[in-house]
Amino acid sequence: MRGEAISSRPNTTSGQVDRTALRVNHRDMLRPAGLLRPDVHAEDPAPHRFAQGLGAAVLLAASLALFFGAAAAGWGLAFVVIALAAAR
C-alpha cells in the first residue's frame, strides 16, 4: 500500500451522482404512465433574445466598472442582473 491513500469514501472518478437510473425511471416509467409531461408551447423567441442581450450588456458594464475600480457600481449592476434572472 505504498503511495496509496486510504479513504472511507467510495472510489468514484467524478464524485457525481449517477443519473442514469433517474433517466431510465423517467423514460421508461413516468413518461409512459402520463405522470410527467413536457410543457411545450410555441412562443416568440425575440423577448428571450432581448433579455439575454441586455443581461450580457449590463454584465459587461459591471465587469468594466469592477476593472476600473468602481466596485459599488460593478457589484450593483451584477446584483441587478442576478435579481432579475431569479425573478423570472
Give the pLDDT band (50/70/90) at residue 2. low
Is 6 part of a structural domain of the chain? no
Is 20 part of a structural domain of the chain? no
Number of domains forming the structure of the chain: 1
SS3 per-residue string spanning 15-79 = CCCCCHHHHHHHHHHHHHHCCCCCCCCCCCCHHHHHHHHHHHHHHHHHHHHHHCCCHHHHHHHHH
Q: What is the pLDDT of residues 59-68, one digit of tens each?
A: 999 999 999 9
Asked whether the predicted pLDDT for residue 46 surpasses 50, the reply is yes
pLDDT at position 16, please? 58
Grid cell at residue 37: 409531461
Is 15 part of a structural domain of the chain? no
